[in-house]
Amino acid sequence: MLRESFTVTVADNGSAALERFETTDFDLIVTDIMMPELGGYGLAAALRGRGYTGPIIGVSAAVLGEETNKLLEAGANAVIAKPLNLGELVKELVKIKGT
């Protein structure tokens, strides 16, 4: 059972998320692949370019093939399917932490 507490920061788009990154330390980034202004691919690449080494998990309705590969190449650690499922998120975090 998950027994952690979390503070969630929400951004309406990738550009807003990147702005929040400049002033806040994050332990985890969960991003939609398709967002206005700056999509998940650009956000993941920009975060890595700014030195973020924590886990990035992309969420998408298209988790097979090119979409997943493209996000992983941009710097994400994992991609999980929409709708977001807490069990799947925890499973991916356990896998990432184990590596």
Q: What is the pLDDT of residues 5-41, one digit of tens each?
A: 778 899 999 999 999 999 999 999 999 988 889 999 9
Contact 29, 58 (CB under 8 A): no
Q: Which residues contact 61 (CB under 8 A, 6 or more apart)?
A: 81, 82
9 assigned to some structural domain:
no
| Size (the chain), residues | 99
Counting Cβ atoms within 10 Å, is residue 14 exposed (0-12), middle (13-18) or buried (19+)?
Answer: buried
pLDDT at 2 over 60: no
26 assigned to some structural domain:
yes
93 assigned to some structural domain:
yes
This prediction has a pTM of 0.86
User: Measuring CA to CA, how many Å separate 37 from each of 2, 14, 25, 56?
Assistant: 34, 6, 22, 19
75 assigned to some structural domain:
yes
Return the CATH number at 92. 3.40.50.2300
Q: Which two tokens stand for residue 83?
A: 């709708």
74 assigned to some structural domain:
yes
Give the structural domain span for 79: 14-98
